[in-house]
Amino acid sequence: MLERNKRRSKQGVVLKSSSAKTVSVIVETLVQHPIYKKVLKQSKKYLVHNDTDLNVDAGDKVLIESCRPISKSKCWRLVSKVG
């Protein structure tokens, strides 16, 4: 039996959930500057497909997972709420 490939997962905060099956999630990471060694905060915004119709509002922490491309800008799907 073949195993499914490992999928990337990230944890982020919902910015808005205006459309029916799409939510906007921001993911923040900490990165150290290569020369000055200062820790910087980087953030990236993802459009996430919400096919399970989880009731998420702005400010909720969620877990997202990579998937096949659903549209031009959506290749992540919503897995669950966190906390």
* Calculated CA dihedral for residues 73, 51, 55, 74, nearest 10 degrees: -10
- Can you list the positions of beta strands (E) in the chain? 9-16, 22-32, 39-49, 61-66, 74-81
What is the domain partition of the chain in residue ranges? 9-81
Q: What is the pLDDT of residue 1?
A: 59
Q: How far apart are CA 26 and CA 44, in angstroms?
A: 6
What global pTM score does this model have?
A: 0.86
pLDDT in tens, the chain (83 residues): 556 678 999 999 999 987 889 999 999 999 999 999 999 999 999 999 999 878 999 999 999 999 999 999 999 999 999 97
The CATH number of the domain covering residues in 9-81: 2.40.50.140
